[in-house]
Amino acid sequence: MEWRDEGLVIGVKRHGETSAIIETLTKAHGRHLGLVRGGRSTRFQSLLQPGNSLGLVWRARLDEHLGSYAIEPLHLRAGRLIASGLALAGVSYLGALLRLLPERDPHESLHEALEIIADHLDLADVAPTLLARFELQVLAECGFQLDLERCAASGSRDDLIYVSPKSGRAVSASAGAPWRDKLLALPAFLRSDDSLAAPTVSELADAFRLTGFFLERNLFGPRGLPMPDARRAFLAAATK
């Protein structure tokens, strides 16, 4: 069996004395692992780094086998990202987040978004905005999409400033006033893709509190996993 695709490296581990197993989020084949023979050599070490995008040819005798990758460089970002504490934490967290996806389950829209994030991960005024939106996208792809377009109580599209922790639906200021202490804050930038303008520190905190609540409840918690330390490291670096 053989296919060709492109993928972004999200994890690498050694295999034997000379080879490596790389984990990638591919465009058409989802989160996919493969063996790179000689992957620990000097020739490959700079290529097989989280954050890099590679051209991939996967070969295996049977579909369920691990298979091997032949690789070629497409976009080598790791050398730049390694110089940023924010980017290093972000790359590590993205790997942990994407491992929540079933292996080999295609998510083309996530791959496209991941490429954009990787290009901006060392930019403190942009990366947190992109990552918060990406967390919402991962929730949606896993079947837990939040409804942030209409008020759960009134159906209104105006003045949506809360989210119900029970339903994951937006709530307007007037409808949510009696229960505001029990609702999650909804920062405006999570409802609009029109601009990458940096939100305030307070808005970022509200956004990651919101996404973190649903990630922990619906994805990490049911798998018996704690929220990744890399997420906390990213947030600490983003709010300096």
pLDDT in tens, 128-167: 999 999 999 999 999 999 999 999 999 999 999 999 999 9
pLDDT at 11: 97
pLDDT at position 52 is 98
Question: In terms of DSSP H, where are the helices of the chain?
Answer: 42-45, 78-81, 85-98, 108-120, 127-141, 173-176, 201-215, 229-238
Please give the domain boundaries of the chain with CATH numbers for all domains. Answer: 2-76 (2.40.50.140), 81-148+186-238 (no CATH)
pTM: 0.94
R_g (Cα) of the chain, nearest Å:
19
Is pLDDT above 90 for 12? yes
Mean pLDDT of 219-240: 95
| Count of all residues that appear for the chain in the document | 240
pLDDT grade for 122, boundaries at 50, 70 and 90: very high
Of the pLDDT bands very low, low, confident and very high (cuts 50, 70, 90), residue 51 is very high
CA distance 122 to 129: 12
The candidate with the shortest Cα–Cα distance to 214, out of 146, 151, 160, is 146
